[in-house]
Amino acid sequence: MAYVLLLIGFGLLIKGADLFVDGSSNIARLLRVPPILIGLTIVAFGTSSPEATVSIIAALQGNAEVSLGNVVGSNIFNITLVVGIAAFLYPLMVENETTKKEIPFILLASGALLVLVSDTELQGLSDNLLTRSDGIIFLLFLSIFVYYVIEVGMKSRNESAQEPMPTNVKWGKNIALTGVGLGAIILGGDLVVDNGTEIAYDLGMSETLVGLTIIAIGTSLPELVTSISAALKKESGIALGNVVGSNIFNILFVLGSSAVISPLPVNGKIVIDVIIMIALSLLLFLFSRTHYKIGKLEGFILLTMYIIYLVYIILRN
C-alpha cells in the first residue's frame, strides 16, 4: 500500500505543479510584477510548505536530525537537481537583480546558519545547539527579505502602471487554479514523504540519512515539478525564483520557526553538509554571472554535483 500511495503522491505533485505555475504566472501579469517576484514569494512559500510541515512536526517531536537534515538536504537538492534539470530542459535567463541581491541572500542565510550551528568551534561549548534566540534572528532576517521583495514589487508595478490590463486573464479563475494546485502539491508531497520514509526505515536507513535523502527529496519534489513545469513553459523567472525563494524560506522561516518552537540539538555531521550547501550556493552565483544565463552545461555540472553528494552521504552514513 505504501508503494501505491507513493505513486498517487507523485501524480498529485505533477498535476498540482502544472496548475500552480499557470495560476501564479497569470497572477503576476494581473499584479503587473515580474514573474520572478511571484516565484520568490507565493510560489517559493507554497512549495516550501512541505519542508515547513515536516521540520516543525519533527521539532515538536524532538527529532532535530530530521528537521535540520530536511532543510539542508532540500536546499542542496534545489540548487543541484532542481536548477540542473530545469536549466537542462530550457536555459534559465537570470535577471540582473536576482544575481545582485536574491542569490547572495541565500549565501547570507546559509552563512548565518553555519555560524549559529558552530557553537563548539566558535564558543568552545560541549554541544552545538540552534537556540530560540537563533530562531528569532532567522525570522528577523526573513522580515528584511520580505520587505525588500515587496519594495521591488511596488517599484515594478508603478513603472508598468500605464500598461493595459490583460483582458483574457481573470482573478477568480487564477486564484482558484493556484489554490487547487498548491493543495495538490502539499497533499502529494505529504504522501510521498510519509510513505517514502516508511519504505526507507524498512530498508534500515539511519535518521540522518533519511532526513538528508528521502525526506529532503520528497519535500523538495514540489520545487522540482514546479520548476520543471515553469521551464517547459519558458517561465524562467518562476523556475529560478522558486528555487532561490524556497532556499531562503527553508533556512529563515522553516528553521527559524522550528528553533523557536523547540531548540534543536545539532549533529556534528550536519555542519559539513551546511558547508557543502554554501559552496553549491556560491557555484550557483558564479553560474548566474555567466552571460546572466544558466544553460545546459551548467545544468549538467549541477546534476553531477548532486550525484557526487548523494554517493558521499550514503557512504558516510
Among the residue ranges 6-20, 52-66, 108-122, 150-164, the one predicted with the least confidence is 150-164
Of residues 272 and 162, the one with the higher pLDDT is: 272
pLDDT at 10 over 60: yes
For residue 34, the model assigns a pLDDT of 73
Residues 44-69: pLDDT tens digits? Answer: 777 777 777 777 777 777 776 777 88
pLDDT at 298 over 70: yes
| pLDDT bucket at 160, cuts 50 / 70 / 90 | low
Of residues 238 and 176, the one with the higher pLDDT is: 176
pLDDT at 277 over 90: yes
For residue 284, the model assigns a pLDDT of 92
Distance CA 133, CA 137 (A): 6
Mean pLDDT of the residues in the chain: 81
| pLDDT bucket at 26, cuts 50 / 70 / 90 | confident
| pLDDT bucket at 303, cuts 50 / 70 / 90 | very high
Distance CA 249, CA 90 (A): 25
For residue 199, the model assigns a pLDDT of 73
Residues 187-219: pLDDT tens digits? Answer: 876 777 677 777 777 777 666 677 677 777 777
For residue 111, the model assigns a pLDDT of 94
* Model pTM score: 0.81
For residue 206, the model assigns a pLDDT of 66
pLDDT at 74 over 80: yes
pLDDT at 163 over 60: no
- Region 27-52 average pLDDT: 74
| pLDDT bucket at 80, cuts 50 / 70 / 90 | very high
Q: Which of 203, 248, 271 lies closest to 74 in space, CA to CA?
A: 248
